[in-house]
Amino acid sequence: MTLTTRFDEAFLYASELHNGQKRKGTDIPYISHPLAVASIVLENGGDENEAIAALLHDAVEDAGGPPTREEIRRRFGERVAEIVDGCTDTDESPKPPWRKRKEAYIAHVRHADHSVVLVSAADKLHNARAILEDYRSLGDKLWARFNGGKDGTLWYYCSLIEAFQTTGKVPSRLVEELDRVVSEIQALAGQPG
């Protein structure tokens, strides 16, 4: 597959939307995350629409809400907007309570289409890798970054793994890698896997 100028345009737009944002608790530019998610999507057989959606998967939630969704639709088409919507747990401000949002997202993933599940799993894998890396250096102080704390965050990732496994809509190697990373986090955190 060859990526077109649409992908280039999506990268520039994502970079513009997330300009000045940093990864939680770090000085890492936020754009590194959508780039990594797009890479994981492409490495797991994703098409250009899925890769573009990966670049923009957090845009509605973290960079503009419904107006951003409409701009994504206008610039990149209905299919990309649908995938981004499927990866967005809320566009409300203020956001609803954390646990309620996460439970709804897990239920949604179980019935989402292949593209949404692929981008979501890639997103969670990159996030889990970052958590593992930061946990190795910060220890339990890391959990202060997360609304769900240690127990809630690990519950969320384990629940997502189970949801991804049951859908059968994402490459098993992707879910297996996510499971390995989360199991390592659990082991470091002293929680049974």
List active site positions: 61-62
CA–CA gap between residue 7 and residue 13 (Å, rounded): 10
Token code pair at residue 182: 């989360």
Burial class (CB in 10 A: 0-12, 13-18, 19+), 121: buried
Which of helix, strand or coil describes residue 133? helix
* Alpha helices for 110-169 (secondary structure H): 114-138, 149-167
CA–CA gap between residue 1 and residue 7 (Å, rounded): 12
Sequence letter at residue 20: G
Token code pair at residue 94: 């203020």
CA–CA gap between residue 44 and residue 91 (Å, rounded): 28
Sequence letter at residue 158: C
Which of helix, strand or coil describes residue 171? coil
What distances in angstroms separate CA 48 from CA 2, 38, 93, 152, one per listed residue?
8, 9, 30, 34
